[in-house]
Each structure stands twice: as C-alpha cells, then as structure tokens.
Amino acid sequence: QVSLVESGGGLVQAGGSLRLSCAASGRTFSSFAMGWFRQPPGKEREFVAAISSSGGSTGYADSVKGRFTISRDNAKNTLYLQMNNLQLEATAIYYCATRTGFNAYDTRAYDDWGQGTQVTVSS
C-alpha cells in the first residue's frame, strides 16, 4: 500500500496558476504509474492526467490539454500537477492515485488514493 498526501491547492483567480504536489510513502513509488483526478462540486470524479512509472509517458483529459502538465520526481517520491490558465470549471477537489489497472482514464484502474486538495477558481 502507498500513502499519498496532496498539497498545493487554494484559491486562485481565473487565468492564474497553481502547482499541486502528491507526496508518496510506503511501497516503491517509482514502480507505479500515477494519475490525477478531480471531483467538481456535485459531480463525479473525473480523469485529469496520467503518467507512467518512469515519467516517460503522459496523457491528459481534453479539457486540460495544453494548460496542465503532470510530472514526477521518483528520487523525491513526489508527483506534480502544474496547472496554468485556470478556468472556473477547474474548481474541484484534486486527488492523486496509484494505477495498477490498464485503463488510465478509469478510476477503477487506481488503487491507493490521497485525501484530496481543494482548488477554487474565482472570476
């Protein structure tokens, strides 16, 4: 089992930027593909971005492509999500998770989850 703790959320104006972090402990972080998901108020959790265990491969939801960047530092056991040009619809709780399944876009492919960090975008 991997313990995950997200941080870096907060209140930001539309057009602004935030960088989320996900600190991992427990089993070897570098052996896991990882993902970011978000859950807007009153909605289901949705895929944001994914990254392979080495960091060499990434994927994004169409809604964030070109504005968000997922990365990882295996030496620091940390996953990141750089979010630029944030829009109102980005308001959500953001979660990181370890992926053990095949489909990176499906929450069911993910095993361990953090507690989430709140991102609020204001106009």
pLDDT at 27: 74
> What are the pLDDT digits (tens) for 20-54?
999 999 778 999 999 999 999 999 999 999 999 99
Closest CA to 34 of 67, 7, 56, 18: 56
Would you write out the chain's pLDDT as a tens digit for each of its 123 residues?
899 999 999 999 999 999 999 999 977 899 999 999 999 999 999 999 999 999 999 999 999 999 999 999 999 999 999 999 999 999 999 999 999 998 999 999 999 999 999 999 999
Q: Which long-range contacts (CB under 8 A, 24 or more apart) does 62-65 make?
A: 63/89, 64/90
Instruction: State residue 108 phi and psi, 5-degree precision.
Output: -70, -15
The three-state secondary structure class of 93 is strand
How many residues are recorded in the chain?
Answer: 123
